[in-house]
Copies of this chain bind each other. A is one copy, B any other.
Amino acid sequence: MTQPDALLDVAYDEALRGLAEGGVPIGAALFDVDGALLGRGHNRRVQNDDPSVHAETDAFRAAGRRRDYRPTIMVTTLSPCWYCSGLVRQFGIGTVIIGEAQTFHGGHDWLAEHGVKVLVLDDPRCVSLMTDFIAERPDLWFEDIGVAPTKQTPA
């Protein structure tokens, strides 16, 4: 497999693009097992006014229609939420490489339990990017992961 860090660089670059556009800074990319890029993308909630486009969804869409995802690798800057973990499981994506799972712990343990090869890189750039974003825009972050407003998570 191509060096995981090199694959993560592509997803991280997508996250930075999202940040520059005023969006949620999460990026992803789908590669084949040889490291060839199939599709890349980032969260587009703000940019497209579309709650359905998480980073992984965007990369998956960009890769187009395929008949076999088993030899593919989903790389994402952040632990995939249930929506994106469900995508990985349903389509049988074989490997998931995750930048960090400190600021958000999604469904990657569940994926590992169901046979997906999961690698968490603990990348400090990714941790820093999300830490800063969550501190700055908690409203947008909680919206993006479906946490309804409460006293702890204001609108």
Copies in the complex: 2
Q: Quick one: which of B89, B91, B148 contacts A68, CB cutoff 8 A?
A: B148
A155: B residues at CB distance < 8 A: 67
A82-B90, A90-B145 in contact; A49/B64 too (CB < 8 A)?
yes
A4 within 8 A of B: no
Please, how many residues of chain A have a CB less than 8 angstroms from a CB on the other chain? 37
Q: How far is the CA of A60 from the CA of B57 in the complex (A)?
A: 14
Distance, CA A64 to CA B87, complexed state (A): 20
A149 at the B interface (CB under 8 A): yes
Q: Is A45 an interface residue (CB 8 A)?
A: yes
Residues of B within 8 A of A58 (CB): 52
A residues 64-123 near B (Cβ < 8 Å) are 64-70, 81-87, 89-92, 107
- CA–CA, A107 to B89, complex, Å? 11
Determine the chain B residues whose CB is within 8 A of the CB of A34 once the complex forms.
none
A148/B67 in contact, CB under 8 A: yes
Given contacts A50-B61, A69-B148, A83-B83, 16 further A-B contacts (CB under 8 A): A45-B65, A51-B63, A51-B64, A51-B66, A67-B143, A67-B148, A69-B146, A82-B86, A83-B91, A86-B89, A86-B107, A90-B145, A90-B146, A92-B146, A92-B147, A92-B148
Residues of chain A at the chain B interface (Cβ within 8 Å): 45, 49-53, 57-58, 60-61, 63-70, 81-87, 89-92, 107, 143, 145-149, 155
